[in-house]
Amino acid sequence: MTSKSLSDNKPVGVIGAGNFGSAVANLLAPQRDVILYARDEKVIHQMQAHHEIRGHKMRTNVQPTNDLEYIARECDVLFPIVPSAHFRGMMKQLSPHLHPYHILIHGTKGFDITLPEGQTLENTRKLNRSQVKTISEVIKEESVVVRVGCLAGPNLAKELAAGQPAATVIASHFNEVINLGKRLLRNDRFQVYGNNDLVGVELAGVLKNVIAIAAGALSGMGYGENAKGLLISRGMVEMVYLGRALGGNTTAFLGIAGVGDLVTTCNSSLSRNFNVGYRLAQGETLAEILASTDEIAEGINTVQIAKKCADYYKVRAPITGALYQVLFEDLTVKEALQYLMRYPLNVDIDFL
């Protein structure tokens, strides 16, 4: 059985109680009861005792659990929102409890990497598309689920939690998934759009994190809006080049999940990726930044992956290349900027 009639009375599940997962759970709660999966027992106890997570109040019909079998049994629709580094492992644990009738709409902006035995991301020179999987591809590889989607867009968790106006895109090959996502998430302060280019929307949401780190570095150096406008516009071109090489459609990068998310994260100190770049420009090392936070900035790994994909497909990606040298070699932010300003490029738009 590949599908069944979805009950409007069953709860919706969210897997991952980080800032974004918690915000999505609260967005869903006015429409349905929500079961929120958390690995951390402290989060479970905090929810049960005070109905809050890290000081943020959760709606009363959001129920915590640390049981993946339970959430899969009780919910036909699941929103997995966990870091990309842990996503495949989570799916391996969840998949024995999934059926073809389940619908999964993920909210993870990262890649999954498959490497030959003995290789690591650090010692791999180049990566091709067969080694780089989007999160929807991981879901389909690890489970029997057929109807898969993702949500992407300018969705800073703290602003969503505060009820500020925002929007997202539900992308899926299935219109049923898009329409369901709209019904569950849309409200008078949260607009939901649809897109059938699932891979393109995923790629846009991931690749913009690279440019967000660079934007934070510009801000950390004290540069103004002219420099940021230059970075965002050239960064968008770079995202399109690499996204097309990896199988995305150009139009996905021109919407909410592409330029919308890019502009937001390149202008916000609430973005973890922006803050990584800002702190690098202030003189901190990557090791110092990573040691001082328990939050994952997906863009750090994405820089490595994007650089090695660009090398494999011979894609022009000077921002990604310079940022790679800043993060993992010995180039300073100032030297990277000098290099980019001298980069020989005099055509504005050549991808349309």
Annotated active-site positions, please? 208
- Is 302 exposed, middle or buried (CB count within 10 Å of its CB: 0-12, 13-18, 19+)? buried
Q: Which residues pair with 151 in a beta bridge?
A: 170
Q: Which residues contact 276 (CB under 8 A, 6 or more apart)?
A: 213, 216, 286, 289, 297, 299, 300
Tokens of 336: 């990277």
Compute the distance between CA of residue 41 and CA of residue 48 in angstroms, rounded to an integer: 11
> Strand 52-53 and strand 56-57: pairing?
antiparallel
Reference 347, options 208, 234, 240, 251; nearest CA is 234
Closest CA to 306 of 182, 222, 211: 211
What is the CA 136 to chain-centroid distance, rounded? 12
Q: Is the Cβ–Cβ distance between 339 and 322 less than 8 Å?
A: yes
Give the ranges where the chain is alpha helix by DSSP (H): 19-28, 41-50, 68-74, 84-94, 135-142, 157-161, 175-185, 198-220, 225-245, 261-265, 272-281, 286-291, 298-313, 318-328, 333-342
Residues 6+ apart with CB under 8 A from 30: 59, 187
